[in-house]
Amino acid sequence: MRIGLIGYGRMGQAIERVATARGHEIVGALHRDASTIEREAVAQQADALIDFSHADAVPEHVNLALRAGKSLVIGTTGWDALRPDIERQVRAAQGSVLYAPNFSIAVQVFLRHAVNLAAQLLQLDGWDVAIEEIHHRGKADAPSGTARALATRLQQTLSLPREAAYPVPTDNRLPANQFAVGVLRLGSEFGTHRLLLDGPYDWVEITHRAKSRDGFAYGAVRAAEWLIGRTGFFSFQEVLNEILAHKEEH
């Protein structure tokens, strides 16, 4: 597969390493100041584009992929408000786009089981829940896309609705129908997410911590492999089920 990279920071470089190791070819890497001619040239050469750039550039990159008729994997976060319109645009054009706020396979499994556990315990009297995320100082959005995804799934799954509170109120108590989402920005931390559950007799904590960016890169490359030949707007959940169901050959 021929891959065009949109964004060539630390994530773009990690994707290049992983993709090359899996036998794929990188046909070009687009920086933020790349010209329209350069962008079109890379898109035409590629089978799939992978975007880890900036939230404000996502609509432009979707249009680029649609014009070229190429698949697009989006790992950029912070553009959730635009998602409904972009989904409609992609489906109307019979495009091929897959988005995830986090491409770590382990994170996706963590999200699935953390929410199920929380939903069971929060049915009992006296249990409370919170989310905490830690990322490097340069991360542009807060809370992280993964923390937002975890909070959204909790809100959708709980029998008694609760809303995520970010930021946490500073001038009054946290209402009973809300749960806190804590954010820390520290050094060069790749990404840590915690689901915290406090009960009358027990404390339960589930943590995922990324060891490097390569786990995110691996998931994004697997998503690009899966997306080729498909049309629609997809989430990583559909890729995840296939990855977990089939053992890779070496």
**Residue 248: pLDDT over 80:** no
- Rounded mean pLDDT, 14-37: 95
CB 74 within 8 A of CB 53: no
* pLDDT at 205 exceeding the cut of 90: yes
Helices (H), the chain: 10-21, 36-45, 58-68, 83-92, 105-121, 145-157, 214-227, 236-245
pLDDT of residue 61: 97
Same fold, 2-103+213-245 and 105-209: no
To the query of whether residue 193 is one of the catalytic residues in this protein, the response is no
Count of Cβ atoms closer than 10 Å to residue 194 Cβ: 18
Single out the catalytic residue among 24, 61, 70, 135. 135
To 10 degrees, the CA torsion angle through 238, 221, 145, 203? Answer: 80
Residue 249 is predicted with a pLDDT of 55
- Give me 154's structure tokens: 């909790």
Homologous superfamily assigned to 2-103+213-245? NAD(P)-binding Rossmann-like Domain (3.40.50.720)
Count the Cβ atoms, other than its own, within 10 Å of residue 24. Answer: 19
**Long-range contacts, stretch 75-84, CB < 8 angstroms, 24+ apart:** 75/11, 75/50, 75/51, 75/99, 75/100, 75/103, 75/216, 75/220, 76/7, 76/51, 76/52, 77/101, 77/141, 77/144, 77/145, 78/140, 78/141, 78/145, 79/55, 80/145, 80/148, 82/58
136 or 141, greater pLDDT? 136
Which residue did the predictor score with more confidence, 247 or 16? 16
| DSSP sequence for 69-120 | T-EEEE---S-GGGHHHHHHHHHHTT-EEEE-S---HHHHHHHHHHHHHHHH
Q: Are 90 and 97 in contact (CB under 8 A)?
A: yes
Q: Report whether 130 contacts 210 (CB < 8 A).
A: no
Q: Could you state, in order of their start, the residue ranges of all structural domains in the chain?
A: 2-103+213-245, 105-209
Provide the β-strand partners of residue 165. 180
State the average pLDDT over residues 209-221: 94
135 in catalytic set: yes
In the predicted model, what is the mean pLDDT of residues 120-127? 94
Q: What is the pTM of this model?
A: 0.82
The torsion defined by the Cα of 170, 174, 180 and 182, in degrees rounded to 10, comes to 20
Residue range 33-42: mean pLDDT, rounded: 94
Q: Is the pLDDT of residue 247 over 70?
A: no
Q: Which fold has domain 105-209?
A: Dihydrodipicolinate Reductase; domain 2 (3.30.360)
What mean pLDDT comes out for the span 100-129?
A: 93
CA distances in angstroms from 246 to 12, 136, 249, listed in the order given: 27, 34, 9
